[in-house]
Amino acid sequence: MKNHAYDFELEKIKRLVREKGARRVGLQLPEGLKTVATELAAEISGAAGTEAGAEEVEVLISGNSCFGACDVDERLERVVDLLFHFGHTFSFQKRKPVLKEKEKTPEKVVFVELRSSADLKPAVEKAVAAIKGEVVGLVATVQHAHALKEAEEVLARFGKKAEIRKSRNLKYEGQVLGCDFSAAVGSACEDCEEVLFVGTGSFHPTGLALYTGKRVVAADPFTEQVSVFEPEELRKRRWLEIARALDARSFGIILSLKSGQFNQEAAVSLRRRAAERGLKAFLLAFDEVSEERLLGFKTQVDAFVNTACPRLAEDFVHFEKPVLSAAEFEVVLGEREWEAIF
């Protein structure tokens, strides 16, 4: 794993494998890093040590999704001694295993954060030109959170003040998740005129703009690309989705079977409240929620309501049937004001 931009903590992994006497080890990687899975497996399979007669460790690589700490491959976990889950950190989402019998087995999952060694200063220097205000909320994904002080120093050189706050539920100062932007919301960032996000992709900055209502400047330390996300446009899209669902008479309530997303209580409660208002509603349980999987139900319901990953509904804006979040559905039920959903 030489010269890789992320720290795979291989020595720690091998030590844990030896200490726990693990004979069968699982690996779970986000999509973009599955390309190094076999290299990792080859390194780990020899981790049993050099004692004469020591057998190789069997490594099982998960081919399933790995979207967040919410998405531990529970089936793989059942058949291995240790499961290394890369790219995410254990968070407030105390896992509620969907597979009941697993509750009695010891925790086998080790989260490897994949800290980045990329220098974030050049990207932040470029981002300064796009920042209009004097005070910015400074946030990052777990891969870059350890280096946010360096970003703060760059901003200070250009006369900008950075607020780095900690979410009660996350591990590091300034850390955000796709479903936890508390480090940049409300009293955590009252003075911030904008948010500077350090990381890759549009998933986090889109959510930050949508849920904070602030302009977000995103700086990617790997490509040094800077992008801007405006909240109004994003919010308009969500309001249009609610408007599309106002006349719906039947709803499919989406329930995810991923351990960190399984929210049966919320799904059942939404179905009951819909029924009380004379609407038809059905609980639909999925391992993986995709357009393909929803297609089979599109002639049976007028709209869907998502209780899985709270960001999922945004992926379906072009789907022929509206897909709402639970809070958005409450607007349809008349339990919440439109303005109160963000």
Query: Distance between CA atoms of 34 and 86, rounded to whole angstroms?
Result: 10
For residues 231 and 214, the answer to whether their CB atoms sit within 8 Å is: yes
- Does position 174 interact with ligand SF4 (CB under 6 A)? The reply is no
Site of tokens 């057998």: 55
Q: Which is nearer to ligand SF4, 208 or 217 (CB)?
A: 208
299 Cβ partners below 8 Å, 6+ apart?
none
- Does position 245 interact with ligand SF4 (CB under 6 A)? The reply is no
- Does position 311 interact with ligand SF4 (CB under 6 A)? The reply is yes
For residues 109 and 126, the answer to whether their CB atoms sit within 8 Å is: no
- Does position 70 interact with ligand SF4 (CB under 6 A)? The reply is yes
Q: Which is nearer to ligand SF4, 160 or 204 (CB)?
A: 204
Query: Distance between CA atoms of 306 and 267, rounded to whole angstroms?
Result: 8
Q: Which is nearer to ligand SF4, 140 or 179 (CB)?
A: 179
**Distance between alpha carbon 183 and the CA centroid of its chain, in Å?**
15
336 Cβ partners below 8 Å, 6+ apart?
327, 330
- Does position 313 interact with ligand SF4 (CB under 6 A)? The reply is no
- Does position 68 interact with ligand SF4 (CB under 6 A)? The reply is yes
Site of tokens 């069968």: 24
106 Cβ partners below 8 Å, 6+ apart?
none
Which stretch in 109-117, 172-180, 210-218, 220-228 sits in contact with ligand SF4 by CB under 6 A?
172-180
Task: Report in angstroms how near the CB of residue 180 gets to ligand SF4 at its nearest.
Answer: 7
Q: Which two structure tokens, joined as six digits, stand for 313?
A: 């509904």
What torsion do the CA atoms of 75, 80, 84, 85 make, to the nearest 10 degrees?
Answer: 0
- Does position 141 interact with ligand SF4 (CB under 6 A)? The reply is no
Give me Rg for the CA atoms of the chain: 22
- Does position 108 interact with ligand SF4 (CB under 6 A)? The reply is no
Q: Which is nearer to ligand SF4, 178 or 221 (CB)?
A: 178
Number of residues in the chain: 342
DSSP assignment of 32-49, as one string?
Answer: GGGGGHHHHHHHHHTTT-
Task: Report in angstroms how near the CB of residue 194 gets to ligand SF4 at its nearest.
Answer: 22
Task: Report in angstroms how near the CB of residue 313 gets to ligand SF4 at its nearest.
Answer: 11
Residue 27 main-chain phi, psi, to 5 deg: -125, 135
Task: Report in angstroms how near the CB of residue 260 gets to ligand SF4 at its nearest.
Answer: 6
- Does position 309 interact with ligand SF4 (CB under 6 A)? The reply is yes
Task: Report in angstroms how near the CB of residue 70 gets to ligand SF4 at its nearest.
Answer: 3
- Does position 301 interact with ligand SF4 (CB under 6 A)? The reply is no
- Does position 67 interact with ligand SF4 (CB under 6 A)? The reply is yes
Which stretch in 65-73, 107-115, 285-293, 319-327 sits in contact with ligand SF4 by CB under 6 A?
65-73
Query: Distance between CA atoms of 110 and 25, rounded to whole angstroms?
Result: 11
Task: Report in angstroms how near the CB of residue 261 gets to ligand SF4 at its nearest.
Answer: 5
- Work out whether strand 250-256 and strand 303-306 pair parallel, antiparallel, or are unpaired: parallel
Which stretch in 42-50, 67-75, 185-193, 231-239 sits in contact with ligand SF4 by CB under 6 A?
67-75
For residues 285 and 255, the answer to whether their CB atoms sit within 8 Å is: yes
Q: Which is nearer to ligand SF4, 116 or 175 (CB)?
A: 175
Q: Which is nearer to ligand SF4, 47 or 254 (CB)?
A: 254
Q: Which is nearer to ligand SF4, 10 or 33 (CB)?
A: 33
- Work out whether strand 303-306 and strand 82-86 pair parallel, antiparallel, or are unpaired: unpaired
Which stretch in 19-27, 102-110, 171-179, 317-325 sits in contact with ligand SF4 by CB under 6 A?
171-179
**Interface with ligand SF4 by CB under 6 A: which residues?**
67-70, 177-179, 260-261, 309, 311
